[in-house]
Structure 1
Amino acid sequence: MKKIAIFAKVHDPRCLGVAEELVTWLEARGLEPVVEAHLARHLKFEPGTEPERIPDSADLVVVLGGDGTLISVARLIGERQVPILGVNLGSLGFLTEITLDEMYPALERCIAGNFQVSERMMLKTEVTREGEVISSHQVLNDVVINKGALARIIDLETSVDDYHLTTFKADGLIISSPTGSTGYSLAAAGPIVHPALDCLVITPICPHTLTNRPVVVDAGARISIILRSMNEDVFLTLDGQVGMELKAGDRIMIRRAEHRTRLVISQSKDYFEVLRTKLKWGER
């Protein structure tokens, strides 16, 4: 590895300080830091690199911040599948599991080619309106259909592989990947799914029918959701970061993406330790 890209949460002074130190560390070892343009302006580092050019110009991506920053970078990297080393400078951090103390040893292993990755399934989402695809995205965590603040419960006709599942009457619906199972889906009483599994999780948000429960389906399934509610404010949110307003009759198609996100994993902890730590299991 010769070119190391750096993304950071630019509004966090701590992240900026670590990024500045990292640039110096890389240059001292004869490596080329590829600094994302917005971050470069904050560091007064020239030249910065526009985000969309980074996947084709980096051998490794370092993300300084929290899970939100890493999720946005994962969508950007897309099919290039460049390994991502997430350094946790946020609060929770299910994905950015490398601590600041572990960062430089982990970087040295990556540069030497002695590292392991966790390959995470991504979701491909298409919105069709009147027979035309109007939006297409690939996400790491989840696809959420949610009612507006003043809207009534909404009707979401849901099918799996052309088989009718049900019409959810609820505040909304979450379709999550295994990685996203510890996000919004977990808060809506969805299951925790190990990230090595290939599956999709369908979790209703505050369903009007109390017997509606989360459903786990095969990763090869195609999930179709049609908004049947009229005159309600309904929104589609992708990874909690990208969104659009939906209209009655819109169809949302969700399936497994062809590529995966590759996350560099810590050699000092496993997934279950991350769960115990982040969710404070076993503590009184």
Structure 2
Amino acid sequence: MPPTTCPVPRSVGIVHKQSSRAAAACAAEAAAAIAARGLTVLVDEQEAARRADLVLVLGGDGTLIHAARILAGRPAPILGVNMGSLGFLTEVPQAELYQALDHVLSGQAVLSERMKLRVHVHRQAPGGGELKLLDTEVLNDAVMAKGTLSRMAEFEVTCSDDLVTTYKADGIIVATPTGSTAYSLAANGPILFPTMRGVILTPICPHMLTQRPIVLPDDRTLNIRLAPESEVYLTLDGQTGLQLQPGDRVQIKQSQNRVLLVQSPRIDYFGILRTKLRWGER
């Protein structure tokens, strides 16, 4: 299929890293420069999430994940500008911000479509049945990891009603291809090309060394049930979370929503991997 080009925007929303003075200063300068180009500028995050044709992110990968979260599935393209070192998601360096913006305005910018996961948490109701406690989406991963106690947790995992196994481990990571270079990679998970279709199931420090990371089809539904006497916290994209209780069932499946990232015209994904992971260096 030919690459999808980014529609020329009429309005640009700006989301910047709130704790960074440099990002705030850059946001103010960018707002003036965008207005000078005849576009509407939206600096309020919620307004940008509702109305912007393009979202300009100034920060790092965490700021971009935050922007994707507040978009809540609305397919507005995101142009990620890193304010420090190169990110896996924020591909454009600050020095090339306006060059990248003009590339979008020329109608030649290409979009990278990234899958998301939909996460439900079900809890047994006192009178029987289940209550749905959570219904949300993640771009990178959902992580179930043990709490303050040192003993391992226990997770029964099924994939579209087929039993996978019961993991005894410090935790489990369910990641998208985009999230394959995040926590899953640190737990010895595989790197997937970010536009691939698939879901990664990575145990964290499993008791059985033969329980290795596995890549599953994206049309399957995972159900992960927490065994009794397991203290586990669910973390979503490293930003929000929920304390789980024994017997809780976490259901994870592909979301129909996508995150659209504007690709840098100057670096491809393998260039990002070489730079971030220092491939080829001794």
Which residue in 2 is equivalent to 1:121?
A: 115
TM-score normalised to the size of structure 2?
Answer: 0.93
Structure 2 counterpart of 1:274, one-letter code: I
Identity %: 46
Which residue in 2 is equivalent to 1:256?
A: 254
Which residue in 2 is equivalent to 1:48?
A: none
Which residue in 2 is equivalent to 1:42?
A: none
Provide the C-alpha distance between the structure 2 equivalents of 1:4 and 1:257, rounded to a whole number of angstroms. Answer: 26
Structure 2 counterpart of 1:76, one-letter code: I
Q: Is the Cα contact below 8 Å between 1:78 and 1:261 reproduced in 2? A: no
Deviation string 1:34-92 (CA, Å, 9 cap, x unpaired) is 002xxxxxxxxxxxxxx333233111000000000001111111321100000011335
Deviation at 1:114, TM superposition (A): 2.0
After TM superposition, the structure 1 = structure 2 runs for residues 23-102 of structure 1, keeping only pairs within 5 Å, are 23-36=31-44, 51-102=45-96
Deviation string 1:136-194 (CA, Å, 9 cap, x unpaired) is 11110000000013241011000101000000000000000000000000000000000
After TM superposition, the structure 1 = structure 2 runs for residues 1-284 of structure 1, keeping only pairs within 5 Å, are 1-36=9-44, 51-130=45-124, 131-230=130-229, 232-284=230-282
Q: Which runs of 5+ in 2 are unaligned?
A: 1-8, 125-129
Provide the C-alpha distance between the structure 1 equivalents of 2:39 and 2:86, rounded to a whole number of angstroms. Answer: 31
Structure 1 counterpart of 2:270, one-letter code: F
Structure 2 counterpart of 1:235, one-letter code: Y
Q: Is the Cα contact below 8 Å between 2:86 and 2:93 reproduced in 1? A: no
Provide the C-alpha distance between the structure 2 equivalents of 1:63 and 1:275, rounded to a whole number of angstroms. Answer: 21
Provide the C-alpha distance between the structure 2 equivalents of 1:15 and 1:280, rounded to a whole number of angstroms. Answer: 26
Per the alignment, in what secondary structure is the counterpart of residue 248 of structure 1?
A: coil
TM-score normalised to the size of structure 1?
Answer: 0.92
Provide the C-alpha distance between the structure 2 equivalents of 1:241 and 1:264, rounded to a whole number of angstroms. Answer: 23
Q: Which runs of 5+ in 1 are unaligned?
A: 37-50
Question: Which of 110-119 and 137-146 deviates more?
Answer: 110-119
Structure 2 counterpart of 1:5, one-letter code: G
Q: Is the Cα contact below 8 Å between 1:177 and 1:199 reproduced in 2? A: yes
Q: Is the Cα contact below 8 Å between 1:3 and 1:58 reproduced in 2? A: yes
Provide the C-alpha distance between the structure 1 equivalents of 2:253 and 2:168, rounded to a whole number of angstroms. Answer: 22
Provide the C-alpha distance between the structure 2 equivalents of 1:178 and 1:103, rounded to a whole number of angstroms. Answer: 26
Question: Which of 104-113 and 244-253 deviates more?
Answer: 104-113
Q: CA RMSD in A?
A: 1.1
Deviation at 1:31, TM superposition (A): 1.6
Q: Is the Cα contact below 8 Å between 1:67 and 1:90 reproduced in 2? A: no
Structure 2 counterpart of 1:62, one-letter code: L
Per the alignment, in what secondary structure is the counterpart of residue 73 of structure 1?
A: helix
Q: Which runs of 4+ in 1 moved over 3 A?
A: none
Structure 1 counterpart of 2:192, one-letter code: V
Provide the C-alpha distance between the structure 2 equivalents of 1:210 and 1:102, rounded to a whole number of angstroms. Answer: 45
Deviation string 1:193-245 (CA, Å, 9 cap, x unpaired) is 00111000000000011111001000111000000032x43100000001010
Provide the C-alpha distance between the structure 2 equivalents of 1:282 and 1:73, rounded to a whole number of angstroms. Answer: 33
Which residue in 2 is equivalent to 1:47?
A: none
